[in-house]
Amino acid sequence: MTATLIDGKAFAAGLRAQIATQVQAMKAHRITPGLAVVLVGEDPASQVYVRSKGRMTREVGMNSYEHRLPPETSQQDLLALIDRLNADPAVNGILVQLPLPAHMDEAAVINSIDPAKDVDGFHILNAGRLATGQKAMVPCTPLGCLMLLRDHLGSLSGKNALVIGRSNIVGKPMAQLLLRDSATVTIAHSRTANLPDLCRQADILIAAVGRALFVKGDWIKPGATVIDVGINRTDDGLVGDVDFDAAKQVAGAITPVPGGVGPMTIACLLANTLTATARANGLPDPEGLTP
């Protein structure tokens, strides 16, 4: 048996088309959503993402504002820029590309963003709102994974979901979203005992460890839905956290890398920017873009 391919690239394109339509409707009311992306330093991979975020932002009809700062920028200068963006009514969403240079306090920087403009959903207020079931800005990658899972499975209720990885940007918010959808959720990490056996019980497996080909084919429950969040650059090109070729022989459905979760992350960033713009203008949340 070979797994159904969950085509995140195609799903993301459809989502962006839907967003573009809603942006046009807003423009008729003289509102144009604006997204500011801040990149500190010259990490080549980060530059690629920032460029592609900017292009897709413009493609859906939003305004894109890019701020590139040298790696030696002081935290004080970065905070001053964020203050200006917080106060700028043309800016509805602010994304500060992570990781930041080592001399910066990442939490302090993120928490200086206006929570209403925090389209990454990383601000402590948004994390707390998500954890307590209040209306929040939801982190883009987990939101994209949730959309793919709902599209493929319909209901997640009662399913055994295993999230491998406990980061604040993927693992923890992913677990919160799965729990909200009434899955039974386990979070595994580097100290988890018997990870292969735990995986074999998972109807839904989310791999967000950041290690190339970490999840083996014989760890997968037959028929399981596998979501691979990994983006690992190797000599063989871009690979996920799951051994895709082996896993696809066992899984019911699986996301590829590239072309799976990655494009969904950017589409959900645009979705969050639209949501933030709607809320800033007292409009109802856009249909189908919030959990």
SS3 216: coil
Using CB under 6 A, pick the residue from 114, 118, 120, 228 that binds ligand GUE: 120
Q: Any catalytic annotation for residue 245?
A: no
SS3 content of the chain, % helix, strand, coil (to 5): 40, 15, 40
Name which of 48 and 80 has its Cβ closer to ligand GUE: 48
The CA distance from 20 to 138, in Å, is: 20
State yes or no: residue 231 binds ligand GUE (CB under 6 A).
yes
Name which of 12 and 26 has its Cβ closer to ligand GUE: 12
Residues 151, 19 contacting (CB under 8 angstroms): no
Name the residue among 166, 194, 174, 165 with its Cα closest to residue 130: 174
Using CB under 6 A, pick the residue from 41, 54, 258, 291 that binds ligand GUE: 258
Name which of 33 and 230 has its Cβ closer to ligand GUE: 230
State yes or no: residue 239 binds ligand GUE (CB under 6 A).
no
Which is catalytic among the residues 114, 118, 120, 228? 120
Which is catalytic among the residues 22, 97, 114, 203? 97
Burial classification of residue 2, based on how many CB atoms lie within 10 Å of its CB (0-12 exposed, 13-18 middle, 19 or more buried): exposed
Name which of 163 and 195 has its Cβ closer to ligand GUE: 163
Encoded tokens for 217: 């084919």
State yes or no: residue 263 binds ligand GUE (CB under 6 A).
yes
Burial classification of residue 252, based on how many CB atoms lie within 10 Å of its CB (0-12 exposed, 13-18 middle, 19 or more buried): middle
Encoded tokens for 249: 């022989």
* 19 annotated to bind ligand: no
Total of residues contacting ligand GUE (CB under 6 A): 17
The CA distance from 35 to 30, in Å, is: 16
State yes or no: residue 175 binds ligand GUE (CB under 6 A).
no
State yes or no: residue 35 binds ligand GUE (CB under 6 A).
no
Name the residue number minimizing CB distance to ligand GUE. Answer: 262
SS3 19: helix
Q: Any catalytic annotation for residue 151?
A: no
* 166 annotated to bind ligand: yes
Rounded to a whole number of angstroms, the minimum distance from the CB of residue 257 to ligand GUE is 6
Three-class secondary structure assignment of 87-126: HCCCCCEEEECCCCCCCCCHHHHHCCCCHHHECCCCCHHH
Using CB under 6 A, pick the residue from 80, 98, 107, 108 that binds ligand GUE: 98
The CA distance from 8 to 220, in Å, is: 20
Name which of 143 and 185 has its Cβ closer to ligand GUE: 143
* 54 annotated to bind ligand: no
Q: Any catalytic annotation for residue 176?
A: no
* 167 annotated to bind ligand: yes
Pairing between β-strand 225-228 and β-strand 232-234 as defined by DSSP bridges: unpaired
- Binding positions for ligand GUE, rule: CB under 6 A: 48-49, 95-98, 120, 140, 231, 238, 257-259, 262-263, 265-266
